Amino acid sequence: MKKKLLCLVLALTVCLGLLTACGGSSDVITEAQAIEIALDAAGLEITAVDDVHNHPGDYQGAPCYNIHITAGDREYTFSIHAVTGEILNRE
């Protein structure tokens, strides 16, 4: 019984953490802010971009926005920390 209760508490904690990371908290940066961070890092203006898409995810356990940008024949991929706005990875 104690194991079931512990599992339930852990599962709820993980779910609440994911909800917070996905926009359930005002401490999380917006998708638009994450895209702007990626554009700045790539040295691009939005007018030069052919395609931008994003999906929430995690990078080494940190909640993040995975931003994919296509501009001409170049492609950029960024993982932007969902709370701090730090660039965690770029390709």
CATH of the domain at 24: 3.10.450.40
Q: Are 23 and 42 in contact (CB under 8 A)?
A: no
Structural contact between residues 55 and 75, judged by C-beta atoms closer than 8 angstroms: no
> Which domain, by its residues, includes 81?
2-90
Q: What percent of the chain has pLDDT over 90?
A: 69
Domain tally for the chain? 1
- The pTM of the full predicted model, rounded to 2 decimals, is 0.69
Sheet containing 62-71: order of strands: 51-59, 62-71, 74-81, 87-90
- The yes-or-no verdict on residue 10 having pLDDT over 50 is no
Rounded to an integer, what distance in angstroms lies between the CA atom of residue 47 and that of residue 76?
15
Instruction: Report pLDDT digits (tens) over 16-44.
Output: 455 555 545 568 999 999 999 999 999 99
